[in-house]
Chain A
Amino acid sequence: MSTQIAIPDITYNLLINEIIKYSVCTDPNLSLLESLKNLTKEELQDKRQAMKEMGISVGERIIGFIVKEHVWTKEHNSLMRFICKELWMYLFGRYIGRLQANNKGVYIMYDYKFHWFQGLDLSESIDRENFEKFCSLALSWVCGVLKGAFKGLGKESSIEAAVEENNSCRFTITLKLG
């Protein structure tokens, strides 16, 4: 019987930041900002893919942990509700803000309290582009977790994420029907 220890999500927020720094800063003399500036498009895409794969691996295993106490159906809407409540509660200690669905298998999840990027000012600054590169790397990890979660539940999915104003994040999930 495993006891659930609640870890505030700042712990792995900071750990993910360090993983990104480790993968981006290949030259020890350059700061994080300069290393991000020097990334080419292909390198950035490769790193995003690597973060996503890390997340997929984590997501699959977490789902294995969570579902042992739950009865689940294969119906899409209840799967989505499960993800919004149980998975988010497990990762971040709260429910996700809002879930929108069109009936063709595309869902949009809004999280209004996503505090990971509070320290970066994304509205107007010279380094905005580099901040956004950093955010996209961190969000690739979260997308990977979601993708891995769906894979663990037996569904193929494609996930995109975007940061919005005021600490909110939008995740667009497309589930393959059937």
Chain B
Amino acid sequence: MVYEFYIFNNVGNCLFYLNLRGATPDKNPQDKQKLIFGMLHTMKSMCKKFSPQAVSVSPFTSYVTDSYKLHILETSSGLNFVMFTHPDMMDQTHSLKWIYSTIYCTFVIRNPFYEPKKMITSVVFKQKLEEYLLTLAR
């Protein structure tokens, strides 16, 4: 069960937001997005510092609480794919990688109307992503 999906770039701008819960939308999603990015930035640098071996890329992939689990994939191009799911969900790195390589690459990079660093407004990208996320079971 996927609750929400975000795409951030390396500066902190939220390029895409998808809410699958069907609950009432937040009054000010930008505040929440800024909070999420700030928290993720801190988590990534903390995990990197605590790591017993020296790593160049932050090893942070997910955290779990009683009510949700957060998964993150950071790409070399500076994109952060963030997914909020049900706490029992397994590790979703493979599905985030698939979303990047198939859905994002096809519908965003190949789209001549997409301007980099701006919000993704492609309707077909949203549709395909929603279809895929709804198929993600445990």
Contact = CB atoms under 8 A, between A and B. Distances in A.
A121 to B, nearest CB: 4
A1 B5 CA distance: 52
Given A10-B110, A13-B110, A119 B124 contact: yes
B39 interface: no
B108 interface: yes
Nearest to B112: A17
Contact of A32 (B110, B112, B124): B112
B112 A119 contact: yes
B124 A120 contact: yes
A119 B123 contact: no
Contacts of A31: 113, 115
Interface in A66-115: 115
Contacts, number: 41
B115 A118 contact: no
Nearest to B114: A119
B14 to A, nearest CB: 20
Interface residues of A, number: 18
Nearest to B125: A119
A125 interface: yes
Contacts of B123: 121, 125
A162 interface: no
Interface of A: 10, 13-14, 17, 20-21, 31-33, 115-116, 118-121, 125, 131, 134
21 contacts: A13-B110, A17-B112, A20-B112, A21-B112, A31-B115, A32-B112, A115-B106, A115-B110, A116-B110, A118-B106, A118-B107, A119-B106, A119-B110, A119-B122, A119-B124, A120-B111, A120-B112, A120-B113, A121-B123, A121-B124, A125-B123
Given A115-B106, A115-B110, A121-B122, 18 more contacts: A13-B110, A17-B112, A20-B112, A31-B115, A32-B113, A33-B113, A118-B106, A119-B106, A119-B107, A119-B108, A119-B110, A119-B111, A119-B113, A119-B114, A120-B112, A120-B113, A125-B123, A134-B112
